Amino acid sequence: MRPPGPDGSSGRPVGQPGIPAAAGLLAAPLAEALAVLPPRVGSLADAGISAGGCFVRPLPLDTTCAAAGRRFFREAVSSLHIPSGLVHDGVTMASELAANTLHAQRAGGATVVRQRAAGGAPEIWLYLRGDSRHCELVCKVFDSARSWDTGGETGLDKAPIDAVSGRGLQVVDGLSAGQWGCHPTLSRLGNWKLPGKVVWFSLRIPPAALPELPGRPRYGPDWLVDELESMLADRGLNGIVRADASDITVLSVSRHLTVWRHGGTVSWRTAAGHYEQLSLTDTVEAAEQIISVHEEIAGAGLPALTNHAQAG
């Protein structure tokens, strides 16, 4: 599905059904102008960070893990005008989270090493959330261990600072001003979307660095809710039942999790019983929070009516 244009149009080329062709002298100049415009993203899965997408890379399961985390962080933010000091802080924290993942793997012993090797490599994710007045860069490192001690505990929010890697998470806590934590989720890469956790931090981006988030305001709510549904399905939340009426959309994810879209906002009930609401322009963040709630419910022993393929 093609994203709408800034004016809310469907983005179809001139002359196709539904869009009157420009007459006479206007037709050729308009076609030439459209030909030089950069192509619009067909899906947020293909979009860059500034257009509302998520940067994703696998992390190696060896001693180069921290270096890879630093390199991928710099790659992800290279197109953003972020102050060098914030970039340095982000690189440092990404390195610590990557090192933390490798440390947890080794601390778990040979059994955990085999499980992670079968389940896939850790992953680093980066995306923007919020708007130009209050924008944050979010960095997450995923691994397939569900808890800090490699046990089966789920529903984690924030682990003790010395839980796994000692001073590493203290550095993250200090540089992020306490804006970090942990939650259950599903992997992004590969055909099998594995359950696990992410440890994350966020950095507030000064408004002057991002006067507006390019691309994101042009996406209409109908297209964005399609993208949200697609994101959830791509992450393994199969069997979503959808209903549409006027400017309302209902996504029944499971027996215990329903997502409502009303106009330009999306809301859902958390595992703790309170409601969360976000702008649909925060599609990646909304998908992450919904998946986290789904995994918390599944981890609490409630039957989630979706299947997550797990490597044996």
Q: Which amino acid is at 93?
A: M
d(CA 295, CA 276): 16
Angle between helices 84-107 and 65-77 (to 10 degrees): 150
| pLDDT score, position 25 | 35
Q: Would you place residue 151 in the very low, low, confident or very high pLDDT band (cuts 50, 70, 90)?
A: very low
| pLDDT score, position 212 | 60
Cβ atoms of residues 229 and 179 within 8 Å: no
CB pairs under 8 A, 24+ apart, for 288-294? 288/140, 288/185, 290/232, 290/253, 290/257, 290/259, 291/185, 291/186, 291/232, 291/235, 291/237, 292/183, 292/184, 292/185, 293/257, 293/268, 293/269, 294/237, 294/253, 294/254, 294/257
Least confident of 77-86, 100-109, 121-130: 100-109
10 Å Cβ neighbour count for 24? 6
Cβ atoms of residues 56 and 189 within 8 Å: yes
| Residue for token pair 């879209």 | 261
Give tens-digit pLDDT for 237-248: 999 999 999 899
Asked if residue 210 has pLDDT above 90, the reply is no
Give tens-digit pLDDT for 33-64: 333 334 445 788 888 888 889 999 999 988 89
Beta bridge partners of 76: none
- Residue 55's Cα: distance from chain center in Å? 8
Question: Taking the domains of the chain in order of start, what are their residue ranges?
Answer: 46-209, 219-299
Topology, domain 46-209: Heat Shock Protein 90 (3.30.565)
